[in-house]
Amino acid sequence: MEKLVIEGGKPLSGTIRIQGAKNAALPILAASVLSDGNLIIENVPDLLDIQVMLDILTSLGSRAVLTGQKVHLDMSRLHSSHIPEELMKQMRSSIFLMGPLLARFGSVTVYQPGGCAIGERKINLHLQGLEALGAVIEETGSTIVCRAEKLTGADIVLDFPSVGATENIMMAAAAAVGRTTIHNAAREPEIQDLQHFLNAMGARIYGAGTDTITIDGVSRFHPCVYRIIPDRIAAGTLMVAAAATRGNVTLEQVNPQHLTSLIHVLKRAGVQIISSGDIMNIQCHNRPRRVERIVTSPYPAFPTDLQSLIMVFLSLADGLSIVKETVFEGRFKHVDELGRMGADIRVDMNAAYIKGVPRLYGATVEATDLRAGAALVIAGLAAHGTTVVEQIHHIDRGYEQIEKMLTRLGARIRRKSPEGEELSSPLDRIG
Ligand code: UD1
């Protein structure tokens, strides 16, 4: 297994462009199966999860190639709606294909998805939503077969504003007969991006970004060219990295409006943040102040995907901070690893009590999931001494060449093989 070796203690400094949003690109690539012909999706990040989605689309008969942040798709030969089990297990987001494939073929076979080990991650809300549109679902072991001769619009109330369920229902309902209303819908920016993309293909969807989304089904979709929004979690990761290393970093191609909750928290801790259009500068000169209480919740509240990262920052603050996780159970696996680096964090149920320490120290630690892994890298950048982060395949699922990006900001970080040989990033090696 590859690892990242980090010599910490150097403030990050410089300017960097933010990658396109993984969590917007994945459902948008899935939604493209609704159309025939050639589509171009721009600003797509070159990530392992994106490669898996393209492999799935290829296995279903389409042409799906990523070159220079553009995905060229040809959906005219799409012939199958049976997602191969081995690909499905590699990435939870393959579940996004359920709604659009059901709409296009009248049936779809999927398997219980894989993905990050951050909790139970059920799909009951996806299935209930599709059932409400008229689908019949058979589950045998890990195989799920979903059939619907015709999808019909319905009024759907989500028990919880699940991002994935909202997106899956939107994609299926876009092709249903009549009107669908999703109540208690998730409001994440990626859902707005999906609405814009579906509408660019001819769908009639209104309300994304609010908790009520209305979808008037259409019978035909057409190809389009579409540009993905910037990745707010990648941007947030670099904001925290800049602040934790007491650096001075400018982000380009960022949407500050998608990051209001993080900006608010960092400012409360004493970080200077100035935004103008799609540019943001982050500077931190002093030891951060504690932040009494942060609660993760669906957008626009503080994102669960930045919970592990803000915890690294607060580990270095002056005083006691509390972070409560309400979205995923089991998302505190990074706490033990941070403890090895000298952080003082106690977990009680779904709350972490973080007593700031003056400094973290380098150690060998293990990435347990994507964002926990990123948090350990940031901890390594801020720490004194050498940190080795193992199991970094998790990190490659969500960050475009993380070591290259951080090196550009002056970090001393290298990717190494288990034998200690220096390596280029995995996607460079694929070519
Ligand atoms: C998406 C993001 C992920 C982020 C999460 C929450 C993508 C590709 N991933 O994941 O990075 O951490 O939103 O912001 O966009 N739930 C159910 N039943 C369901 C679906 C969800 O109980 O059918 C629960 C989950 O177990 C979890 C909560 O709802 O506790 C949130 O999940 P959800 O919003 O669906 O997250 P994802 O779409 O999986």
Å from CA of 46 to ligand 1 middle:
22
Q: Are 350 and 326 in contact (CB under 8 A)?
A: yes
Residue 159 near ligand 1, beta carbon < 6 Å: no
Which residue's CA is the nearest one to ligand 1's atom 16? 122
Would you state the pLDDT for residue 16? Answer: 97
For the chain, the distance separating the N- and C-terminal CA atoms, rounded to the nearest angstrom, is: 20
pLDDT of 119 > 60? The answer is no
Give the containing element (helix H, strand E) for 275. Answer: strand 272-276
| Among candidate residues 162, 84, 81, 149, the one with its CA nearest the CA of residue 121 | 162
Residue 258, pLDDT > 50, answer yes
pLDDT in tens, 340-387: 999 999 999 999 999 999 999 999 999 999 999 999 999 999 999 999
d(CA 152, CA 50): 31
Q: 297 CA to middle of ligand 1, Å? A: 11
Return d(Cα 346, Cα 360) in angstroms, integer. 16
Report d(CA 377, CA 308) in Å as an integer.
Answer: 11
Task: Output the CA angle 241-293-211, nearest 5 degrees.
Answer: 90
Tell me the pLDDT band of 228, cut-offs 50, 70 and 90: very high
Report pLDDT for 133: 98
pLDDT band for position 120 (cuts 50, 70, 90): low
Strands 386-390, 364-366: parallel, antiparallel or unpaired by DSSP?
parallel
For every residue of 16-57, DSSP letters joined together read: EEPPBPHHHHHHHHHHGGGS-SEEEEES----HHHHHHHHHH
**Which pairing describes strands 204-206 and 212-216: parallel, antiparallel, or unpaired?**
antiparallel
Decide: 160 in ligand 1 pocket, CB within 6 A. yes
pLDDT at position 121 over 70: no
Give CA 294 to chain center in angstroms.
20
Evaluate if residue 392 carries a pLDDT over 70. Answer: yes
121 close to ligand 1 (CB < 6 Angstrom) = yes
How far away, in angstroms, is 302 Cα from ligand 1 center? 14
Choosing from 95, 97, 160 the residue with most ligand 1 atoms within 8 A of its CB, the one to mutate for a pocket test is 160
Catalytic: 146?
no
Average pLDDT, the chain: 94
Closest residue to atom 38 of ligand 1, CA basis:
164
155 DSSP β-pair partners: 181
CA distance 331 to 326: 10
Nearest CA to 130 among 112, 163, 108?
Answer: 108
Question: Taking 90 as the threshold, does the pLDDT of residue 395 lie above it?
Answer: yes
User: Residue 163 and residue 121: Cα distance in Å, rounded?
Assistant: 12
State residue 413's pLDDT score. 97
Question: What mean pLDDT comes out for the span 80-89?
Answer: 89
Q: Which domains does the chain have, with CATH numbers?
A: 3-19+231-430 (3.65.10.10), 22-227 (3.65.10.10)
Q: Which residues pair with 390 in a beta bridge?
A: 3, 366
How many whole angstroms separate alpha carbon 28 and alpha carbon 96? 9
Atom of ligand 1 nearest to the CA of 93: 8
Determine the pLDDT at residue 430. 53
For residue range 169-225, list pLDDT tens digits in order.
Answer: 999 999 999 999 999 999 999 999 999 999 999 999 999 999 999 999 999 999 999
Q: Indicate the top mutation candidate among 162, 231, 325 to test ligand 1's pocket, ranked by most ligand atoms within 8 A of CB.
A: 162
What pLDDT is attached to residue 91? Answer: 85
- For residue 4, give the nearest of 368, 371, 315, 366 by alpha carbon: 366
One-letter amino acid at 148 equals: A
Burial class of residue 228 (count of CB atoms within 10 Å of its CB; 0-12, 13-18, 19+): buried
For 202-218, the pLDDT digits (tens) are 999 999 999 999 999 99
Ligand 1 mutation target, pool 91, 130, 159, 163, most atoms within 8 A of CB: 163
Does ligand 1 have an atom closer than 6 angstroms to the CB of 123?
yes
Nearest to 124 by CA among 81, 184, 88, 168: 168
Angle at 142 between CA 326 and CA 26, to 5 degrees: 55
pLDDT > 70 fraction of the chain, expressed in percent and rounded: 97
| Residue 329: per-residue pLDDT | 80
CA distance 171 to 187: 16
CA-closest residue to ligand 1 atom 30: 328
Distance 352 CA to ligand 1 centre (A): 21
Is 90 exceeded by the pLDDT of residue 431?
A: no
Q: What residue ranges in 112-246 does DSSP mark as E strands?
A: 136-140, 143-147, 155-157, 179-183, 204-206, 212-216, 225-227
**By mean pLDDT, which of 80-94, 292-306, 309-323 is the weakest?**
80-94
Distance 422 CA to ligand 1 centre (A): 36
Tell me if 200 CB under 6 Å of ligand 1: no
Cα–chain center distance at 347: 25
Q: Which of 276, 216, 252 is nearest to 408 (CA)?
A: 252
Using a cut of 0.85, tell me whether the model's pTM lies above it: yes
User: What's the CA-to-centroid distance between 110 and ligand 1, angstroms?
Assistant: 18
Residue whose CA is closest, atom 26 of ligand 1? 121
What average pLDDT does the segment 117-135 reach?
Answer: 84
State yes or no: pLDDT of 42 exceeds 80. Answer: yes
Question: Does residue 115 surpass a pLDDT of 50?
Answer: no
